[in-house]
Structure 1
Amino acid sequence: MGNKPSPPPSPPPPPSPLLGTPWRDISWGNNRDSLQYLKNFQPQNEEATIRVLLHGPVGAGKSSFINSVNNVLQGRMTTEALASATTSDQSFTLKYQTHKIKKEVRGNFYPFVFNDIMGLEGGNGRGVRTEDIILALKGHVKDGYKFNPVSSLSDDDYHYNSSPSISDRVHVLVCIYDANAPQMNSSVLEKMREIREAASELGIPQLAILTHIDSACGETEKTLRNVYKSKHLKKKMGDFSSSLGIPMNCIFPVKNYSDETQINSDVDTLILSALRLMIDFGDDYTEKL
């Protein structure tokens, strides 16, 4: 009897979707210090309330991020900024609105605010106009202004602020981008670059938030603590950094509160990590004004 042929070698295991060690350090679950820092925070420029302007494509999660920040600081579920739960190619936010966040003491607010705007869309005559965002950066847009995709705010309009104060101006520009989104529309990307260039000329610091990281990566869906081990999300952030020019250390992956009914410590950790840097950057900028 001849020798039996050797069985074929087993195929190599598929490469792991996770890196062996995280590429960015973060203290999971240790949120007390960050919360206390924000509760005690006062701008170096006493005249200023730090204004954070969120912009990005339609459906990226701008309103949901404001709600998520409010949830973290309130320690409960809130609905400060109305957001849509349905996917749409049209913006749910239509007006320029300032969102304040209450402190524990009745009548007191945190010394920073968020502005939500209509989403960016490809092509002309759709979504928020870049001219309106640039006017907002300079403090010329009053609350309640309804964005018009066809024409921008004129200086004779009721909602045009001809003499903005330090607090009317934007102190931090934050781009919100969906980790699930396919390659960015070239027209939207061009608009984002135009806005970024205008902010840079004004000296306004800029950050980016990558949302929906749980549904974009199976490993992060299992546990958010895999976020800085995920090869997919690291590449997504790197591609976004290359496209828009925002450095990697100014891009933060987060999961907005969406299906939760209770506060989650890991969700809070990622949001607080981004929020602290936003406020610090805005504080540094207002001190120069």
Structure 2
Amino acid sequence: MEPFTFANPSVSSSTSSSFCFGTPTPPTLLPPNQSNNTPTQSADNVGLLETPWRQVDWSEEAREALMKSVLSHKPTCESVSEGRVLLLGPIGAGKSSFISSVQSVYSGRVINWAMVGSASNSSFTKKLQGFKIHASENQDQKTGLVLCDVMGLGDEETAGLTLYDILAVTKGHAPDRHMFSPDQPVRSETPGYVKKPALKDRIHCVAFVVDASKILSYSKAMSTTLQQLRQHFHDLGVHQVALLTHVDEVCMQTALDASQVYHSKAVQQAMARASSLLGMPPSYIMPVKNYSKDLELDGHTSTLLLKAVDHILQYVDLYFKDNKEPVYM
């Protein structure tokens, strides 16, 4: 089985035009002094917009309400107790860090739950693992959300997941904690292989994860790979969203105060580039700041993470509205 690294970047535009949400015309990137909003002066010469391009309630009350809403969320399908979300993206984009950051919000302290690596050319995560977000004071009180961590997509043939494995995970055939290997794809002989996956075994939403600080360095081939993956997920009826990580590395003001994220022109431009990279409208993309450097929790950073989780859950619910009964493949 050939590893699924990068497809031919010369793929025709007609391929991407049939994606789940269509391929929008990439948003126009306005030069620093040609914004519809009036920028303020900035030390990093990027500037903040006077009017935010998305409205968020950053109050403590709103954050606590979000925490309760996510914690109490249950799938709309009675036969399924948890929504399974696959985090997928380039190596080092921040998939595992996002999982740890979300659990940190509920643990009341910064933890490294999903082990995170620092290598840029190989994936630290080698196996499929589902993480059930739970309340810190009562680990039996879990959300109806499982965040599934897998290997990242790499540039080299032996660095990332194969297409076969990605689809096996999405369809529910791959067992939890399966160790991925490019020369040993998931198959019926794989220990723990799920021959007839029920609805609860399948992936109910895919969250692509891309790094804002590397958004200009991703190759055309990577863009083609991500967009072709979107087509495969569309064919399976799986909704997709995206997380734009490391926004604090492209905007100094956001690094100091996460509530400035929607005032930031740099983040707004990174969002537009992520939209083009994925062939996905900006409304499906959520910027996040992971707790990858911090030792203490920050209210605004936690709000941003919770908004991303709430966004994901909306698309999990859409999946269950479309799939009422177990489907075997």
TM-score by structure 1 length?
Answer: 0.89
Matched, 1:134 2:164: no
Cα deviation digits, residues 155-194 of structure 1 (max 9, x gap): 2222421111111101110011111113312332222122
Cα displacement (A) at 1:282: 0.3
How many equivalent residue pairs?
276
Question: 1:38 corresponds to which residue?
Answer: 70
2:308 & 2:179 partners in 1: Cα distance?
29
Matched, 1:254 2:284: no
1:194-205 equivalent positions in 2, closer than 5 A: 194-205=228-239
CA contact 2:210–2:243 (8 Å) conserved in 1: yes
Task: Point out 4+ residue stretches in structure 1 off by more than 3 angstroms.
Answer: 13-16, 103-106
When structure 1 is superposed on structure 2, of 169-178 and 223-232 the one drifting more is 223-232
For 2:106, give the aligned amino acid. L
**Shift in CA distance, 155/190, structure 1 to aligned 2, threshold 3 Å:** farther
Matched, 1:20 2:20: no
CA contact 1:83–1:92 (8 Å) conserved in 2: yes
When structure 1 is superposed on structure 2, of 57-66 and 130-139 the one drifting more is 130-139
CA contact 2:72–2:143 (8 Å) conserved in 1: no
Matched, 1:285 2:319: yes
CA contact 2:172–2:203 (8 Å) conserved in 1: yes
1:284 & 1:73 partners in 2: Cα distance?
25
Cα displacement (A) at 1:19: 1.7
CA contact 2:94–2:209 (8 Å) conserved in 1: yes
From 171, 174, 187, the counterpart of 2:221:
187
Q: Which has the larger radius of gyration?
A: 1
**Shift in CA distance, 83/16, structure 1 to aligned 2, threshold 3 Å:** closer
1:165 & 1:80 partners in 2: Cα distance?
28
Cα displacement (A) at 1:73: 2.3
Q: Unpaired segments of 5 or more residues in structure 2?
A: 1-40, 324-329
2:283 & 2:302 partners in 1: Cα distance?
19
For 1:62, give the aligned amino acid. K
1:95 & 1:123 partners in 2: Cα distance?
18
CA contact 1:210–1:254 (8 Å) conserved in 2: yes
Question: 2:16 corresponds to which residue?
Answer: none
CA contact 2:123–2:159 (8 Å) conserved in 1: no
- Secondary structure of 2:244 counterpart: strand
